[in-house]
Structure 1
Amino acid sequence: MECRVLSIQSHVVRGYVGNKSATFPLQVLGFEVDSINSVQFSNHTGYAHWKGQVLTAEELNVLYEGIKLNNVNHYDYILTGYTRDTSFLETVVDIVQELKRLNPKLVYVCDPVMGDQGSMYVPENILPVYRDQVVAVADILTPNQFEAELLTGRTISTEKDALDVMELLHQMGPDTVVLTSTDLTSPHGDQFLVALGSQKMVRTDGSKSTQKIRIEMPKVDAVFVGTGDLFTAMLLAWSHHHPNDLKAACEKTVSVLHHVIKRTITYANEILQVCKPSFISGLGGWSQTIPQVKKLDVEVLSWRGYTWSAVVRLVGRTAKFSKTTEAAYEMAGPGKRPNPAQLELRMVQSKKDIEDPDIVVEATIL
């Protein structure tokens, strides 16, 4: 049976961010994807230069009206990410509500991108729209710790605080909440990131239950772009394939991120083995292992923001140089860090891992 997604996100001509990060992986996993581009840029804003256009709320409504007039506004999922404009976000809410009236089983997956590490990178007036309108119609919500605190007005200092905040978010609307990154201390030390999830579900006998999970991942800082959008898209996909099993959905989602980032780093490593930049300084392997981590070479630290960070562990092998690598080396130059073009996600090259990811992290049921 055909499953169709309406994805309202940013678009770049070169690279992977927003709809470019979400569309191909969803299609690989069997979803039809209709994309509305909230912005169209030449490339992401981490480059030295970028050009493009921003879609207004009125233009969004015009596009949706065209879909509606042709009677093809029937969707199983809606996926949204970064936006800075309150009127645009309010129009998204109107569209979600109308589509839910047409299909009460429609699932809205929302990444409420507002900020991280105590700082907002969107206008402050976007918060009440998310809090009072968006969360109420969302079914799957993927805030980081800071965004969850903003939405609930609560501070997270302990795991219990985080579980309480997720419960409050459930009461506000969504049945599934994933805190994609937190500042919580891992029992395995400060080299590990803690992410948490909670899912309300109805058993076959009609009774209700809640599955709560924790995922711990080793972390080393490196900057990528587009991993947040890939994470949310994969959570949509694997939640569809594993309904009422947040543990399995998150394990596969994180594993896809692992393989895509690992392949991206391996590609960059082909350059770095010759350039020897500071980029690889401190990215040595860990001697510490934990049961929840298997074959973990690369993991996501934070899937958030318009420039996302990720955690990586660099694989020690040197890949054979190719013509593509030689060209990338010429772009980087001796002793320099890889430029943004060289760190674009290796999405197409990861097709098999997106389709059937080898599980590299096991979540713990709380």
Structure 2
Amino acid sequence: MAGNPKVLSIQSHVVSGYVGNKSATFPLQLLGFEVDAINSVQFCNHTGYKKVAGQILSEKDLDDLAGGLQQNGLDFYSHLLTGYIGAESFLRRVCSLVKHLKSVNPNLIYVCDPVMGDNGKMYVPDDLLPVYKNLVLPLADIITPNQFEVELLTDVKINNVEDAWKAVDVLHSKGCRTVVVSSTELGNEKYLLALASNKVGASINKATIKIPKLPASFTGTGDLFAALLLAWMHKTNNQLKESLERTVSTLQAVLKRTLSSAKGDVSAKAMELKLIQSKNDIQNPKIVISAEGVF
């Protein structure tokens, strides 16, 4: 399995555009991963458009899919990736699935992007938060929340970098080996600051990276970030600094290409991530941003 990693990705799906599984699957495949996808929702497009229509997968549907995989011996994975989940009952069923998959492969790495909200606002039901806190965190090996999600998960208000590291330590204490805060407002007008920490036993490796701000709003970047981090942590044998640099540098290349292609058009359609056009950047990222170790 080390030479043939296989990911089960459970998150949203859109027919048109690039968020959720549409944002994660192609990059993972380019980087050598087999990807099996379960779509927590299937919408015509992301919610930034004027019309959104589609279906929501129930926990019974998830049971049916997971049961079929199990009966056919198709439930051995090197990684599990989860993103947007919109119902508390579905998230609880995911927790049961994590336990099962780890019983099949004790070395499975669970990468959780706890998609709950941003900019001070939750966009999932409140009852998902205690499930993330009490059930998901102890199961997750790698977690990639944004600043607002970290505050929700830890009850630590982040006003400065010291607060952020305190919150990261809380997440470690819950069982998460690797914590990457994908974006914070602790930078300045030019950049966002991301923080990462990897704890193995008593040893902790920490790093930060400055993410240049671009003059646009994008959708699907968190989904892409989590998928890229999963890939590079595997490919670098958990080298945190290098994985962070490759993830952020790839993301910057995709976003700059998207922005350039839009030519000033800020509509949802024009700002869809240019993943296909960024194939070479995803496969062979040029490191344009360096991470700094924290000692």
TM range (shorter): over 0.9
Which of 221, 224, 229 aligns to 1:230? It is 224
The residue number in structure 1 matching 2:192 is 193
Q: What stretches of structure 1 of length at least 5 have no aligned partner? A: 203-207, 273-336
Superposition deviation, residue 221 in structure 1: 4.2
Larger Rg computed on CA atoms? 1
Matches within 5 A, 1:88-99: 88-99=90-101
Structure 1 window deviating more from structure 2 (251-260 vs 213-222): it is 213-222
Matched ranges for 1:104-115 at <5 A = 104-115=106-117
Question: What is the aligned partner in structure 2 of residue 364 from structure 1?
Answer: 292
Alpha-carbon distance between aligned partners in 1 of 2:277 and 2:91, rounded to the nearest angstrom: 34
Task: Indicate the residue corresponding to 1:5 in structure 2.
Answer: 7
Q: Tell me how large the CA RMSD over aligned residues is.
A: 1.3
Q: 1-side partners of 2:179 and 2:211: how far apart?
A: 19
Q: 2:247 aligns with which of 245, 253, 256?
A: 253
> 1:153: Cα distance to partner?
1.3
2:210 and 2:218 map into 1 onto residues whose CA distance is 20
CA distance in 2, matches of 1:221, 1:121: 24
Pick from 70, 77, 96 the counterpart of residue 72 of structure 2: 70
CA contact (8 A) 1:201 1:244 kept: no
- Contact 2:28–2:228 (Cα < 8 Å) also in 1: yes
Identical amino acids, percent of aligned pairs: 52
Partner of 1:22: 24
In the alignment, structure 2 segments of 5+ residues that lack a partner are none
Aligned residues: 292
Where does residue 278 of structure 2 map in the other structure?
Answer: 350
Corresponding residue for residue 233 of structure 2: 239
Task: Give the equivalent residue in structure 2 for 1:120.
Answer: 122
Write out aligned runs for 1:116-265 (5 A): 116-184=118-186, 186=187, 189-201=188-200, 208-265=202-259
Match of 2:35 among 11, 18, 33: 33
Q: Is the 8 A contact 1:192 1:216 kept in 2?
A: yes
- CA contact under 8 A between 2:182 and 2:222: conserved in structure 1? no
Quick check: 1:214–1:363 contact (8 Å CA) kept in 2?
A: yes
Distance in 1 of aligned mates of 2:266 and 2:183 = 26
- Please, what TM-score do these two structures have when normalized by structure 1? 0.77
Provide the C-alpha distance between the structure 1 equivalents of 2:27 and 2:112, rounded to a whole number of angstroms: 17
What secondary structure sits across from 2:290 in the alignment? coil
* One-letter identity of the residue aligned with 1:340: A
Of residues 28-37 and 221-230 in structure 1, the stretch that sits farther from structure 2 once superposed is 221-230
- 1:341 paired with 2:266, answer no
Counterpart selection for 1:100 from 99, 102, 114:
102
